[in-house]
Amino acid sequence: QVQLVQSGAEVKKPGASVKVSCKASGYTFIDYYIHWVRQAPGQGLEWMGCMKPKSGGTKNAQNFQGRVTMTGDTSISTVYMEMSSLRSDDTAVYFCARSVGYGQAFDYWGQGTLVIVSS
Amino acid sequence: YVLTQPPSVSVAPGQTANISCGGDNIGRKSVHWNQQKPGQAPVLVVYNDRDRPSGIPERFSGSNSGNTATLTISRVEAGDEAAYYCQVWESTSDHLWVFGGGTKLTVL
């Protein structure tokens, strides 16, 4: 069965960086895009960007350009999302999700990773 | 591109819930709907306006025309209580994904 398993919760200080992983299983990893979506406490969903594991190509939403880097390791079917210069308002649950094409629906989601930014 | 959803919708068990998602000419885009229960990851319930993923009950259906897309849940059950988010790919400008603000469905 398809699974996206994310790394565990993180607590970071303002100005630090965080790297969240998303390990895929149950399907051909390079055939799907991996997206990152975050949800601040009590708020809605916000798309951050995506990666095409087959090529390594990425696209970030404007709000995250210059601060978010997505990378992948096809040998272990894992995508990473690293965010730098963390602020308190980056406190959120970060989800990965897959889609068969860039403009296609997200059919499976990871369980989410809570990132807390606090001094 | 902005998607507008009502913050909340309430319905009695067994009745029909309609959740709207407004956007400029949204009828020209493919709309997807995600269900999110508290403390859980979102789950896709309708994609491409009206299609259902495997395992989603037929009670979930969608439509999209003009400036409004609608998720319809027939014969609502207590287990349907959740937040619902519409989603579109904005392919005409910056090629990015947009979510609506979410609608909390309360089953009375």
Q: Provide the shortest C-alpha distance from residue B16 to chain A (in Å).
A: 24
Q: What is the mean pLDDT of residues A2-15?
A: 98
Q: Looking at residue B93, what is its pLDDT?
A: 66
What pLDDT digit, counting tens, does each position of A27-49 carry? 999 999 999 999 999 999 999 99
A102 or B101: which carries more pLDDT confidence?
A: B101
Does residue B100 surpass a pLDDT of 90? yes
Q: Provide the shortest C-alpha distance from residue B73 to chain A (in Å).
A: 19
Q: Where are the beta strands (DSSP E) in chain A?
A: 3-6, 10-12, 18-25, 33-39, 46-52, 57-60, 68-73, 78-83, 92-99, 108-109, 113-117
pLDDT band (50, 70, 90) for residue A62 = confident
Which of A35, A59, A105 minimises the CB distance to B95? A59
Contacts of B96 in chain A (CB under 8 A): 47, 59, 61-62
Q: Looking at residue A29, what is its pLDDT?
A: 95
Q: Looking at residue B41, what is its pLDDT?
A: 98
> Would you call A59 and B96 a contact, using CB atoms and an 8 Å cutoff?
yes
pLDDT band (50, 70, 90) for residue B60 = very high
Q: Provide the shortest C-alpha distance from residue B15 to chain A (in Å).
A: 26
Does residue B73 surpass a pLDDT of 70? yes
Q: Looking at residue A83, what is its pLDDT?
A: 97
Contacts of B99 in chain A (CB under 8 A): 37, 44-47
Does residue B11 surpass a pLDDT of 90? yes
Q: What is the mean pLDDT of residues B16-45?
A: 97
Q: Of B33, B45, B25, B43, whose CA–CA distance to B92 is shortest?
A: B25
- The chain-wide mean pLDDT, for chain A, equals 96
- Cβ atoms of B9 and B105 within 8 Å: the answer is yes
Does residue A100 surpass a pLDDT of 80? yes
> Would you call B102 and A45 a contact, using CB atoms and an 8 Å cutoff?
yes
Q: Provide the shortest C-alpha distance from residue A60 to chain B (in Å).
A: 8
User: Which residue of B3, B97, B98, B103 to mutate against A (max A Cβ within 10 Å)?
Assistant: B97
Query: To the nearest 10°, the Cα dihedral for B75, B33, B47, B60?
Result: 0
A54-83 per-residue burial string, b: 16 or more CB within 10 A, e: under 16: eeeebbbbeebeebbbbebeeeebbbbbeb
Does residue B95 surpass a pLDDT of 90? no
**Coil/strand/helix, residue A87:** coil
Which of A47, A106, A112 minimises the CB distance to B44? A106
